[in-house]
Structure 1
């Protein structure tokens, strides 16, 4: 292979690698300084250019009032769990589209962090309801259920004359009302006991 063919082959391979490197880098932004916010916009033209830079309409774009964030937009504070579930987000975990500007406090607005939801009742109202239900239900339960502070057991059953602790007799049945079969059976048992002696 001559040297000219080697040069052409290397040029083709390098050109493909450069295209591949450009495509894998995520676009035109190669350096960190390309993502740094610019100076605070003072004129309307600067605000329009900054809105275009962040992919927003001019009506949506408003920089931070104190100016220490440069031209970065002051985005509305909406937590991840308040964003629409039925949108086909490109980043489904953070519910964010590709190239959307990120809120300055995005870390605090994640699923595992705080929620910006406006609750139906205030925190004071919910806390007072909790205390009220605890007093209304908890105190009567502690007083009326009478918790046992002793072992529920009977006294010791020592054998005493005239005291029957346990019997095999049926309650309310007398021995005089036995049927004839029972009496015959009893007679047979008595005879068998006598014969064993």
Structure 2
């Protein structure tokens, strides 16, 4: 009797996420069904619902996986004090402008999507950005304490998280607006970091 190839649960879960990511990227959230995902892996509904509660659940998992793969390494770099602060500022700019911008393109943030469709995208984007606040707060404090950036706003350890949250969510809002609008309402997402640079001028 041929031995059945049984995959590790985490391997099977990741396979479903990988397949779903490709389908969502190609066809959009609303045009992909759980049945479509299962057809790609020749799986039964019970297998899908063992790992995910719904299509919405796996959609959020796909976006979270993207963030984990694309952005976590940059956050690790931001915390690495062996790397020059100026170099880490460049990494921060890439994280805010390039990687999050690519995320909005990959997951098709668009006014053409339904409110429900875009709500899942925006929820995941804002939820995940919230995880960066602590790291960015420490990065700001480090820059102030090491005289790398000016502190014109009275930032200290008591209020730094509020500043970090305001800046990150503001930058993401600019990028989000840039992604869904066209024409005269379109913004320049690179301007998000220019504003940050104005708030925290570098000392020379």
Q: TM-score, normalised by structure 2?
A: 0.23
- Structure scoring higher RCO (CA < 8 A, sep ≥ 6) equals 2
Larger radius of gyration: 1
Q: TM-score, normalised by structure 1?
A: 0.23
> Higher helix fraction: Structure 1 or Structure 2?
2
